[in-house]
Structure 1
Amino acid sequence: MKQIACPVALHPDGAPRRLAVATYPLTALVLSDIAQGIRPEAAAAHALYDISGLETRAALLLGTSDDIVAGERWHFALCRTVPPVRDRWQNAGPDGTLHRFGWLALDDAAHHDFAPTHQSALDWIRAAL
């Protein structure tokens, strides 16, 4: 089974609850495959930094789900980001692609720009928090 790390990076001010998401070229959660022998929370913190540029002070495993994508186990890790953070920023990911990021208010209605897979993961995150 393929293992996926999904960092749940909340804005450090805490209110309202806001999650770091990619906004360009696609609206998406930050995620990464987990290499053999790596703990899911470590993989999530590493992915958060590599992809979005956000640093993590601490990462705790929030839970796992086998229901997001068939044949994949998604591991969600709550990542405490290091302030200060901007409202919008950009970062070149590991493959050199420039991505833009922002904060999604978790308590707002469903975000319709997400692919169905990412929407399912977002629903899982909302339910877990």
Structure 2
Amino acid sequence: MKSIPNWAGLIEQRQYKACPVVIRETEQGTDVLVFRHPLAGIQLVKGTVEPGEHVQDTALRELEEEAGISSAKVIQDLAIWPADYEQQVWHFLLCETQTLPERWNHMASDDGGHRFELFWHPLCEQPDNHWHDVYVRALQTIQQRLKEARLKMENSE
């Protein structure tokens, strides 16, 4: 049985992360929003929950800082995930936005001014070697949680 996280300790040590998940449906399936960091490969939008900040607010702040998206809203809590990386715990939150372009660039306000290239990654495709292992595992978790949420919706109809 998993132990209950010490949220205050995780926040204090900057190990509690919010990961806003933005998806779109296409004829080929579900895509998730990701970005290419110029120094660290392909990643999901993610950031540290600051002391006194609600995880939903962190998710929306990170979308604005890392992707330039200011019109998002959190629509579903997907998962709390022990990342097995630097003792971090990630909180996945499904977010809804206006229609977004196929790809775009954004100067990140919280990453020393790096330019991020944002684009859609099909969930049916395996991540390549440009992805850090923790993001590959995070993507698998997101895929599983979305599948579970869809099954739950279908069974309730």
Q: Distance in 1 between matches of 2:142 and 2:92?
A: 8
Taking only aligned residues, the RMSD between alpha carbons, in angstroms, comes to: 1.5
1:98 CA drift (Å): 0.9
Identify the structure with bigger relative contact order (alpha carbons < 8 Å, sequence gap 6+): 1
1:37 CA drift (Å): 1.9
Q: Percent identity?
A: 22
Q: Deviations over 1:78-100 (max 9, x none)?
A: 011112x1111000001311111
**Equivalent in the alignment of 2:153:** none
Say if 1:105 and 1:115 are closer, same or farther in 2 by CA, change over 3 A: same
1:62 CA drift (Å): 1.3
State the secondary structure of the residue aligned to 1:21.
strand
1:47 CA drift (Å): 0.2
1:50 CA drift (Å): 1.0
Q: 2:83–2:134: 8 Å Cα contact kept in structure 1?
A: no
**Equivalent in the alignment of 2:43:** 28
Q: 1:68–1:121: 8 Å Cα contact kept in structure 2?
A: no
Larger Cα-atom Rg:
2
Q: Provide structure 2 residue ranges, at least 5 long, that are not aligned to the other structure.
A: 1-9, 147-157
Q: 2:45–2:66: 8 Å Cα contact kept in structure 1?
A: yes
Report which of the two has the higher share of helix.
2
Opposite residue 92 of structure 1, the aligned amino acid is M
**Equivalent in the alignment of 1:40:** 55
Count how many residue pairs are aligned between Structure 1 and Structure 2: 125
Q: 2:31–2:120: 8 Å Cα contact kept in structure 1?
A: yes
1:70 CA drift (Å): 4.7
Opposite residue 55 of structure 1, the aligned amino acid is S
**Equivalent in the alignment of 1:81:** 97
**Equivalent in the alignment of 1:121:** 138
1:10 CA drift (Å): 1.1
Q: Distance in 1 between matches of 2:72 and 2:103?
A: 20
TM-score computed with the length of structure 1 as normaliser: 0.88
Q: Distance in 1 between matches of 2:70 and 2:31?
A: 16
TM-score computed with the length of structure 2 as normaliser: 0.73
